[in-house]
Amino acid sequence: MRFALLLLSLLAVAGCTTRLIYRIHNTDPAGARIFTQDIDHFWQAFDSLDSPRFVHYLEEWYLADGSPGLRAFDRNRIEGADKLAATVRASADYYRFIRPYTYRVQEYEPAIREIFQRLANLYDDARFPDVYFLIGRLTSGGTLTNTGLLIGTEMHSAAPGAPKENLNGWLQTVLASPERIPTIVAHELIHYQQKYPLQLKRSLLSMAINEGAADFVGEKLCGATINDHIHAYGDEHEAELWAAFSSEMYDTETGDWLYNGQPANGQPADMGYYIGYRICEAYFEQQDEPRAAIKDILEIHDFEDFLRESGYGQQF
């Protein structure tokens, strides 16, 4: 374990993009644990929202007393009680609205267990991490560390009627209703499986395929993706999207295609997910054996070769 943690630290310094080092855990889908207790601790602190000591209570009752998953999420996404308090205060109406829906996360455990089992049936080398449901500051729907899958539950509790009018345009688009929780778990679970080279050359192409693969294979597990909202636009503008994407795909920056948060150049945010999905779909459809195709998608060694073998670019 100490060796694995050392490698994680070295990879963080080197800036490598890989999921391989995370895959040191359980091979039994039934052995994965699902943790929700951090949600209760957050709401305990939230009840002191009007107190001048609100930041202190968030730190003491929520962050400092958190699970290993919350501690990792705090380091990577929340970044401390001060920032969390600022977001909660600014979006208090939204947080109040979602509270009862966050308590219902446990209702989705059977669906999550089914997703894990479907992956076990589809991919022989699957690993099954623990899953932590947390409350963040509206910046991340989900991520992963060596601790497990970390799900920002506040991003997936926007039931109909949720007050979004004071939130930015990106949030108004991506906030999901509670029944979409299995899709984010499926997406992050696939990221956990990806065995891409440790010295992966970062490019827009590799990053788009990395995300698109999580959407595509995740959809095989639960019937939907976290990015269904961009597919209608993508299907209608696919040729022009590919023309623009292919002119930038060897750049090292993701530009307006991934993680940009806001619409850019007249198109919705994060259309790189769509392009990556379509490349993986094209590759999958070229293969005779679905399980072998899934293995190939999760174990890409050269992203340029993968694109060529998919035949995706040749159709335009």
The domain total for the chain is 2
pLDDT of residue 260: 76
Name the domain boundary from 193, 212, 230. Answer: 193
pLDDT-wise least confident of 156-165, 207-216, 254-263, 285-294:
254-263
Q: Please indicate, yes or no, whether residues 160 and 213 belong to a single structural domain of this protein.
A: no
Separation of alpha carbons 187 and 209, rounded Å: 13
What's the rounded Cα separation, in Å, for the pair 88 and 139?
12
Judged against a pLDDT cut of 90, whether residue 265 lies above it is answered with no
pLDDT of res. 53: 98
Would residue 240 count as lying in a domain? yes
pTM, two decimals, is: 0.90
Q: Does the structure show a pLDDT above 60 at 259?
A: yes
User: Quick one: pLDDT at residue 30?
Assistant: 95
**For position 134, what pLDDT does the model report?**
98
pLDDT at 254: 87
Report pLDDT for 220: 98
**Domain for residue 11, yes or no?**
no
Residue 198 within any structural domain of the chain: no
The verdict on residue 12 lying in a domain is: no
The answer to the question of residue 278 being in a domain is yes
d(CA 188, CA 193): 9
How remote is the C-alpha of 218 from its chain's centroid?
Answer: 11
Query: What is the pLDDT averaged over residues 85-97?
Result: 98
Q: Are residues 209 and 182 in the same domain?
A: no
Identify the weakest region by mean pLDDT among 3-7, 90-94, 235-239: 3-7
The pLDDT assigned to 16 comes to 37
* pLDDT score of 48 more than 60: yes
Pair 144, 188: CB distance under 8 Å: yes
Task: Write the pLDDT tens digit of every residue in 204-225.
Answer: 999 999 999 999 999 999 999 9
pLDDT reading at 20 higher than 50: no
Query: How far is it, in rounded angstroms, from Cα 284 to Cα 286?
Result: 5
Task: Report if residue 1 sits inside a domain.
Answer: no
Q: Is 243 found in the same domain as 174?
A: no
37 lies in the same domain as 145: yes
Domain-ending residue, one of 193, 213, 242: 193
Using DSSP's 3-state secondary structure scheme, residue 133 falls into strand
In this structure, the answer to whether residues 252 and 231 fall within a common structural domain is yes
244, two tokens: 């623009």
Residues 71 and 161 in one domain: yes
Q: Report residue 216 as tokens.
A: 């595509």
In a domain, 69, yes or no: yes
Q: Is 279 exposed, middle or buried (0-12, 13-18, 19+ CB in 10 A)?
A: buried
Instruction: Assess whether 121 and 56 both reside in one domain.
Output: yes
| SS3 (DSSP) at 132 | strand
The pLDDT value recorded for residue 22 is: 54
Give alpha helix (H) positions in the chain.
Answer: 2-14, 37-46, 54-57, 68-73, 81-90, 92-102, 109-122, 169-174, 181-193, 204-222, 228-236, 238-246, 271-286, 290-298, 303-310
Q: Domain for residue 181, yes or no?
A: yes
Amino acid at 299: E
User: Which among 4, 7, 22, 12 is positioned nearest to 144, based on CA atoms?
Assistant: 22
Cα 106 from Cα 121, distance rounded (Å): 24
Q: Are 208 and 183 part of one and the same domain?
A: no
The residue segments making up the domain with residue 275 are 204-315
Whether 83 and 178 share a structural domain: yes
CB distance 123 to 213 below 8 Å: no
Assess whether 117 and 244 both reside in one domain.
Answer: no
Tokens of 27: 């091979």
Return all residues near 3 (Cβ < 8 A) that are at least 6 apart: none
Mean pLDDT of the chain: 91
Q: What is the pLDDT of residues 109-142, one digit of tens each?
A: 999 999 999 999 999 999 999 999 999 999 999 9
CA-closest candidate to residue 133, choices 108, 105, 159, 92 = 105
Mark whether 187 and 211 lie in a shared domain. Answer: no
Among 17-26, 92-101, 206-215, the range scoring the smallest mean pLDDT is 17-26
Per-residue pLDDT band at 200 (split at 50, 70, 90): low
Give Cβ neighbours of residue 10 (< 8 Å, ≥ 6 apart).
Answer: none
Same domain, 24 and 165: yes
Average pLDDT over residues 276-294: 98
Q: Which of the listed residues 150, 172, 193 is the one where a domain comes to its end?
A: 193
What is the average per-residue pLDDT within 95-120?
Answer: 98
